[in-house]
Amino acid sequence: MIKDLLSRNQTWSEQRRAENSDYFENLSRLQQPEYLWIGCSDSRVPANVITGLEPGEVFVHRNVANLVHPTDLNMLSVVEYAVNQLNVKHIIVCGHYGCGGVRASVGGQRLGLIDHWLEPIREVADQQFRCLECGSWTDGELDKLCEASIISQVQRLARTPTMQAAWAAGKEVAIHGWVYGLKDGLLSDLCCTVRQIAD
Ligand SMILES: [Zn+2]
């Protein structure tokens, strides 16, 4: 029932106030998150919950399959604000095994607008794995494609004029690639951190 959400919210708010009467007062004054999270929209991968971060501690952008499109004004605005105004120190591009977007990208079916959205994953599949017409993918192969896509998105984000300008202005911000396991609830670092791109 949708009304349950409102009553749960009331309970949550009361609990927070009981723990600290200034909790919302303090939070409403400013946010100083150190992290920007770029993750998948999947309901099973909520940034705050899986990292144990409180409200105010992580700025969040989510889309299907955690992709970086250099023309995505929504994502670029989030990145620019996070880096230039909030001064986040870390950007985490986080994907997850069992991602429906990754699976759909190489599934061979035409689904509509989402096919355009998922193109960067097909590009990674085509360049790093095998031709897209070469039969179905096993779960293990999809996991590898998922990791490769995350690494590719880290690099794509690093190449955006937004990030290039931030680094040129001396901003100390790193971009990390992480993957989350739906089956064990664990995050892993894919060790593809970019602090400043060479070119
Ligand atoms: Zn996903």
CATH number for the domain harbouring residue 37: 3.40.1050.10
The Cα–Cα gap between 154 and 177 comes to 6
Say whether pLDDT at 44 is over 60: yes
The Cα–Cα gap between 37 and 188 comes to 15
**CA 16 to ligand 1 center in whole angstroms:** 31
pLDDT single digits (tens) 125-166? 999 998 777 778 999 999 999 999 999 999 999 999 999 999
- Is residue 196 in a domain? no
26 and 97 co-located in one domain: no
Q: Are strands 174-180 and 187-189 parallel, antiparallel or unpaired?
A: antiparallel
The Cα–Cα gap between 67 and 69 comes to 6
3 and 64 co-located in one domain: no
**CA 142 to ligand 1 center in whole angstroms:** 12
- Is residue 149 in a domain? yes
115 and 153 co-located in one domain: yes
128 and 55 co-located in one domain: yes
> Which tokens is 17 given?
């106030």
Indicate which residues carry an active-site annotation.
Answer: 40, 42, 44, 96, 99
Weakest-pLDDT range from 21-35, 119-133, 179-193 = 119-133
**CA 12 to ligand 1 center in whole angstroms:** 28
Say whether pLDDT at 190 is over 80: yes
- Is residue 81 in a domain? yes
13 and 80 co-located in one domain: no
Say whether pLDDT at 198 is over 70: no
Q: What is the mean pLDDT of residues 111-135?
A: 90
49 and 91 co-located in one domain: yes
**Total number of domains constituting the chain:** 2
- Is residue 194 in a domain? no
This prediction has a pTM of 0.94
39 and 99 co-located in one domain: yes
Q: What is the mean pLDDT of residues 103-128?
A: 94
CA angle 1, 5, 29 (to 5 degrees): 165
**CA 119 to ligand 1 center in whole angstroms:** 15
Task: Pick the closest to residue 91 from 176, 197, 155 (CA basis).
Answer: 176
- Is residue 53 in a domain? yes
95 and 160 co-located in one domain: yes
87 and 162 co-located in one domain: yes
26 and 52 co-located in one domain: no
Structural domain including 66 reads 31-189
76 and 121 co-located in one domain: yes
**CA 105 to ligand 1 center in whole angstroms:** 11
- Is residue 195 in a domain? no
The Cα–Cα gap between 165 and 170 comes to 9
- Is residue 197 in a domain? no
Q: What is the mean pLDDT of residues 183-198?
A: 92
- Is residue 39 in a domain? yes
Quick check: 127 and 167 in contact, CB under 8 A? Answer: no
The full 3-state SS of the chain, as one line of letters, equals CHHHHHHHHHHHHHHHHHHCCCHHHHHHHCCCCCEEEEEECCCCCCHHHHHCCCCCCEEEEEECCCCCCCCCHHHHHHHHHHHHCCCCCEEEEEEECCCHHHHHHCCCCCCCHHHHHCHHHHHHHHHHCCCCCCCCCCHHHHHHHHHHHHHHHHHHHHHCHHHHHHHHCCCCCEEEEEEECCCCCCEEECCCCECCCCC
